[in-house]
Chains A and B, each alone.
Chain A
Amino acid sequence: MSPLLEVEDLRVSFDTEDGVVHAVDGVSYQVDTGKTLGIVGESGSGKTVSSLTTLGLTRSRSTRISGRIVFGGRDLLTASTDELRRIRGSEIAMIFQDPLSSLHPFYKVGHQLVEAIRIHRDVSKSAARKRAMDLVELVGIPDPKRRVDQYPHEFSGGMRQRAMIAMALANEPKLLIADEPTTALDVTVQAQILALLQDLQDRLGMAIIIITHDLGVVAEITDEICVMYAGRIVEHASTDEIFDAPEHPYTWGLLTSIPRLDQQRGDDLVPISGRPPSLIQRPSGCFFHPRCPYVQKRHRTVDPPLVSLPDNGRHQVACLLEPTIRRQIWNGLKAGRDPTSLRQLAGDGYPSRAPAVASTAPRAETPEVPSSGTGGP
């Protein structure tokens, strides 16, 4: 059976006054019906652009898009604007980060739901309103009858996101793309929204793509995770593999910078130093090399391809370090060791790196000083 959504070698770049922004650079992934894919990365890693492109929302005169996005047998990149419009909101729906700014402030929540229903279905206003109330109830908003006649600003943050989800589900989409669905919410509400998404998936059987910068968010509900960096996928594996045996230094960085309850108070979090690279002037070689603690000389010139692990074809990583060395480093990190102390494992990297370091990164002067030690609760 072919997957519901298949993204193949997707490339999206924007012409701007400062130059060409390579937002997405050769990304491939697929999602099956009933499955959840997590796309994880920092801001500017291309995770949102890739999904907006799926919906055709990045099309413009200054955007160049190539590759293939096959959904239900159709290539969405070659689909006409009108075809895409009919798919949007009916077969593929999307929810966004900030539910307050994503709902129109001047229209009642019920009206916005009715609108979503009536674009794609030829039903009467009263039937659509009835369905809107059912949807509101489905996503766990109490007192739907009263709630549909309220404005978004009369809802709490969590309720707004529920309303957004209700709107996305209006036409029973086959694929739901959730872009940072919990980022703007309180931590307790985050968990509720994630549980709701999981529950709705179980009941409605749709596929979900969750885009987030927070690995903690996707841990519970995804089946697979793509880690994106600078417009590319650097690691792609099942959720269990990503958490148990991650292979990419960037994934390690993401994992060791999450505060954990079982950590000792005062234990240091290990942040990833430096900033995400410019997508106009991208680094040479491995895009992560300026921030990678285990960088070796040739990593600055050789661009690593995304390849499957020799012993696990479903786990892909784009890293030039030897698999055995990667495993040693991860075991060290898991044991709570500092990345600095693990550098030698990478081989020639550390000594040969010294001269270049002083001029490129502040890391040499302040090696791995964590910004905070907020470990336990």
Chain B
Amino acid sequence: MGRYIIRRLLWAVVVLIIVSAVTFIIFYALPSADPAVLRAGRSPNPALIAHIRHVLGLDRPIYVQYWLYIKGVLLHFNFGYSYQYSLPVRSLIFQRLPATISLTVGAVIVWLLLGIPVGIISAIRPRTWMDRMTMGVSLLAISAPVYWLGLVGLFLFANDIGVVHIFDGADTYTGLTANPGRWFGSLIMPWMVLAASFAAFYARLLRANLIETMSEDYIRTARAKGLPEWRVILKHGVRSAITPIVTVLGLDIGILMGGAVLTETVFDIPGVGRLAYDGIQNADLPIIQGTVMLGAFFIVIANLIVDILYAYLDPRVRYT
């Protein structure tokens, strides 16, 4: 197991280097704008642009730029300086992480609390009106894009522009340590909106898994033992049906930790996703690189954690 983890971690480093190289190449092949021109002001002259290009190091060959970048990352854990803010990318990302983590963790709790019970109830009463209704609603929730759902939510319920003023609207995010009450209030709607499609997806996935599990022979054994039905369902059925959910959950958390770009943008939450979005808007390569690397890092690590966790969840799985 230890050797397995070390091997996977080494692979993770390789994956991250490849990801950074690909991001570099894509940015050079298809830049969202010329960073130097963007920063040259309203009446740029060629000399000024060339000067900015030189200051940013953009006049060097691409492989030299990449080499310097990777060297900084590997040797000094230095992700470069943002063109836009003239600040280290590392500290920018660390500043933004709490908001992204707040958003992700809250949304995960919401979607698990919604998705799992709904999935179980639908599975044990398939084809009843309850099942049909929840599955119908969940199909809607899966189909609704986050940016649309977010805007509808704001127009209906936001304190400022909403039809009824219930929740805090966009751009109200407050740090947890600064003001826990406002932190919670400002995140209610983003949590709901981000969690909606996940909750629906998890409910449907769990329902399908559980229906299949409940026809397994060991469920019949559990019933033949004389277990009460709720224990048959929870202890024997859900225990098996939930393992694939854990896999998906790990990956989803990994993806969202890298920044829920759409949700953060719609609600103007200063998270990593918002930072990435701004980075793309401003052709801020170091920011793009940093956020992409962060996203890739979380996904790779989430994958590893899921695989390790799986060996504990399913005793038949062993890694060597």
- Chain A positions within 8 Å of B, measured between CB atoms, are 55, 57, 85-90, 93-94, 96-98, 101-106, 115-116, 119-120, 151, 153, 164, 167
Are A88 and B224 interface neighbours, CB within 8 A?
Answer: yes
Interface of chain B residues 102 through 119 with chain A (CB within 8 A) = none
Are B224 and A104 interface neighbours, CB within 8 A?
Answer: no
Are A57 and B315 interface neighbours, CB within 8 A?
Answer: no
B7 at the interface (CB under 8 A from A): no
Majority DSSP secondary structure for residues of A touching B: mixed
Give the CA-CA distance A57 to B316 in the complex, in Å.
Answer: 29
Are B314 and A105 interface neighbours, CB within 8 A?
Answer: yes
Known: A88-B223, A102-B220, A106-B239. 18 other contacts (CB 8 A): A55-B224, A57-B223, A88-B225, A89-B227, A94-B224, A96-B217, A102-B221, A103-B218, A104-B218, A104-B239, A105-B218, A105-B240, A105-B314, A115-B227, A116-B225, A120-B226, A151-B316, A164-B221
Are B316 and A93 interface neighbours, CB within 8 A?
Answer: no
Query: In the complex, what residues of A have CB within 8 A of residue B316's CB?
Result: 105, 151, 153
Q: Can you report 8 residue pairs joining A to B where beta carbons are below 8 Å apart?
A: A86-B226, A88-B225, A89-B224, A96-B224, A102-B220, A104-B222, A104-B236, A105-B315
Q: Would you give the shortest CB distance from A331 to chain B, in whole angstroms?
A: 43
Q: Would you give the shortest CB distance from A63 to chain B, in whole angstroms?
A: 15
B246 at the interface (CB under 8 A from A): no
Residue-wise, chain B 183-218 has the 8 Å CB interface mask toward A (1 for contact) of: 000000000000000000000000000000000111
In the complex, residue of chain B having the shortest beta-carbon distance to the beta carbon of A56: B223
Decide yes or no: A87 and B226 within 8 Å by CB, A102-B221, A106-B313, A151-B316 being known contacts. yes
Query: In the complex, what residues of B have CB within 8 A of residue A103's CB?
Result: 218, 221
Query: In the complex, what residues of B have CB within 8 A of residue A90's CB?
Result: 226
Give the CA-CA distance A54 to B155 in the complex, in Å.
Answer: 60
Query: In the complex, what residues of A have CB within 8 A of residue B224's CB?
Result: 55, 57, 88-89, 93-94, 96
Give the CA-CA distance A85 to B313 in the complex, in Å.
Answer: 29
Query: In the complex, what residues of B have CB within 8 A of residue A120's CB?
Result: 226
Are B226 and A85 interface neighbours, CB within 8 A?
Answer: yes
Are B226 and A167 interface neighbours, CB within 8 A?
Answer: no
In the complex, which range does the number of interface residues on chain B fall in? 10 to 19
Contact residue among A101, A116, A153, A167 (Cβ-Cβ distance under 8 Å from B217) = A101
Are A57 and B220 interface neighbours, CB within 8 A?
Answer: yes
Contact residue among B220, B228, B315 (Cβ-Cβ distance under 8 Å from A85) = B228
Give the CA-CA distance A101 to B240 in the complex, in Å.
Answer: 13
Are B223 and A153 interface neighbours, CB within 8 A?
Answer: no
Give the CA-CA distance A94 to B224 in the complex, in Å.
Answer: 6
Q: Would you give the shortest CB distance from A288 to chain B, in whole angstroms?
A: 30
User: Which of B221, B228, B315 has most A Cβ within 10 Å?
Assistant: B221
Contact residue among B220, B226, B239 (Cβ-Cβ distance under 8 Å from A96) = B220
Give the CA-CA distance A295 to B316 in the complex, in Å.
Answer: 53
Are A98 and B225 interface neighbours, CB within 8 A?
Answer: no
In the complex, residue of chain A having the shortest beta-carbon distance to the beta carbon of B219: A104
Query: In the complex, what residues of A have CB within 8 A of residue B313's CB?
Result: 106
Query: In the complex, what residues of B have CB within 8 A of residue A87's CB?
Result: 226
Query: In the complex, what residues of A have CB within 8 A of residue B239's CB?
Result: 104, 106
Contact residue among A55, A97, A115, A153 (Cβ-Cβ distance under 8 Å from B315) = A153
Q: Would you give the shortest CB distance from B247 to chain A, in whole angstroms?
A: 15
Give the CA-CA distance A187 to B216 in the complex, in Å.
Answer: 25
Query: In the complex, what residues of B have CB within 8 A of residue A101's CB?
Result: 216-218
Give the CA-CA distance A219 to B285 in the complex, in Å.
Answer: 81
In the complex, residue of chain B having the shortest beta-carbon distance to the beta carbon of A92: B224
In the complex, residue of chain A having the shortest beta-carbon distance to the beta carbon of B315: A151
Query: In the complex, what residues of B have CB within 8 A of residue A96's CB?
Result: 217, 220-221, 224
Query: In the complex, what residues of A have CB within 8 A of residue B315's CB?
Result: 105-106, 151, 153
Decide yes or no: A115 and B225 within 8 Å by CB, A106-B239, A106-B240, A151-B316 being known contacts. yes
Query: In the complex, what residues of B have CB within 8 A of residue A115's CB?
Result: 225, 227
Query: In the complex, what residues of A have CB within 8 A of residue B221's CB?
Result: 96, 102-104, 164, 167
